[in-house]
């Protein structure tokens, strides 16, 4: 496992400066965002990006998202930015939203999976923003960061989960920044902004209604057959070792995740009882990990109904329940 000395809690300004310098030298840094923990590297350093793919066991044609300190850095990465995208960025950044554009001069093939598009976002977490700002001060242009887990596994929402996933794969010089539990708990909404209308490529907490209210445009969806490859778009993803079953009565010995008002039968292992859809999203991944830690073979999930973040929760559960685990 990773050396405890590489896990940095109660991050100070000096800690963030040191982490920024590590990134600039080509090392990797795991850090918290409001959605999930990320595995970061200098987005302009092809060798460092190659290490991300190696550490995660991620296919190199699967693009990475570039994290920026502010909207002011967008021009380095994107071109042909439409007015509706600027409106979205001004409203929801920093926040759990990734925008996909025609790629700018800094976005190399090693980052985009060979595509002509690039995804960017400004995260809403003090440690993530502090790291990005410190990185900019040492000449960094952006931090590429997928989720800090092995490819296809459940995304980490705590440092404990990051350490369990990647600790043994990191090297001397890499750092791990501990920021506690993530507030949102599922990955960002990904919106294709390369055309005349926004299209959702991956649902998240920024909902269709929120996008339409902001842009006054009809929002399309390419979730089922995306024209652009993005993170989390494969049929099987976000999967624990346990088999995930959806919307059926749990039986004795099975794990169960459901809203608090849905009762579990005798002998069922209750893994989470959220009282709101937002809480459901926040605890979902930790509950799935808990099932594996308990050695459960099966987890039954009663999916939340409705719109908003419930759509994103159902998307993650549909992929987690695929029989074709990665």
Over residues 125-168, the pLDDT tens digits come to 999 999 999 999 999 999 999 999 999 899 999 999 999 999 99
Q: Distance between CA atoms of 180 and 126, rounded to whole angstroms?
A: 12
- Pick the closest to residue 204 from 181, 166, 231, 172 (CA basis): 231
Whether 66 contacts 93, CB under 8 Å: no
What pLDDT does 230 receive? 73
pLDDT tens digits for 40-94? 999 999 999 999 999 999 999 999 999 999 999 999 999 999 999 999 999 999 9
Query: Radius of gyration (Cα) for the chain, nearest Å?
Result: 19
Of residues 172 and 256, the one with the higher pLDDT is 256
Q: Distance between CA atoms of 34 and 112, rounded to whole angstroms?
A: 23
Identify whether 271 is preceded by a cis peptide bond (ω within 30 of 0): no
The values of phi and psi at residue 251, to 5°, are -120, 170
Over residues 105-133, mean pLDDT: 96
Q: Which ranges in the chain are annotated with CATH 3.90.870.10?
A: 4-221
Q: What is the pTM of this model?
A: 0.93
Element (H, E) at 212: helix 208-215
Q: Which ranges in the chain are annotated with CATH 3.40.50.11030?
A: 243-320
Q: State which fold the 243-320 domain adopts.
A: Rossmann fold (3.40.50)
Q: Distance between CA atoms of 30 and 19, rounded to whole angstroms?
A: 9
What pLDDT does 234 receive? 56
Pairing of strands 189-192, 175-177: unpaired
Over residues 204-222, mean pLDDT: 93
Does domain 4-221 correspond to CATH entry 2.60.120.10? no
What pLDDT does 167 receive? 93
Over residues 98-114, mean pLDDT: 96
């Amino acid at each position: 496992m990773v050396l405890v000395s590489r896990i940095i809690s109660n991050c100070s300004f000096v800690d963030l400066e040191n982490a920024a310098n590590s990134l600039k030298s080509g090392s990797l840094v795991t850090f918290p965002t409001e959605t999930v923990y990320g595995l970061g590297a200098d987005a302009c350093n092809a060798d460092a990006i190659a290490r991300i793919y190696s550490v995660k066991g991620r296919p190199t044609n699967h693009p990475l998202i570039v994290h920026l300190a502010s909207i002011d850095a967008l021009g380095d990465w994107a071109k042909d930015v439409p007015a509706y995208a600027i409106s979205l960025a001004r409203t929801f950044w920093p926040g759990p939203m990734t925008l996909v554009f025609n790629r700018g001069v800094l976005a190399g093939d090693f980052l985009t999976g060979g595509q002509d598009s690039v995804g960017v976002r400004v995260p809403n977490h003090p440690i993530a923003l502090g790291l990005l700002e410190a990185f900019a001060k040492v000449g960094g242009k952006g931090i590429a960061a997928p989720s800090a887990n092995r490819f296809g596994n459940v995304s980490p929402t705590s440092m404990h989960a990051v350490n369990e996933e990647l600790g043994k794969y990191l090297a001397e010089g890499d750092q791990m920044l501990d920021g506690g539990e993530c507030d949102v708990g599922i990955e960002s909404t990904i919106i294709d902004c390369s055309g005349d209308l926004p299209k959702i490529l991956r649902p998240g907490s920024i909902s269709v209604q929120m996008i339409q209210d902001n842009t006054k445009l009809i929002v399309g969806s390419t979730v089922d057959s995306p024209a652009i490859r993005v993170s989390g778009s494969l049929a099987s993803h976000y999967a624990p070792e346990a088999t995930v079953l959806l919307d059926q009565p749990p039986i004795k010995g099975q794990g169960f995740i459901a809203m608090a008002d849905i009762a579990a039968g005798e002998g069922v292992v209750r893994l989470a009882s959220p009282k709101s859809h937002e809480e459901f999203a926040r605890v979902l991944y930790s509950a799935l990990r808990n099932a594996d830690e308990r050695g459960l073979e099966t987890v039954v999930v009663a999916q939340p109904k409705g719109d908003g973040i419930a759509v994103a929760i159902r998307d993650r559960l549909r992929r987690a329940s695929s029989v074709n685990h990665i």
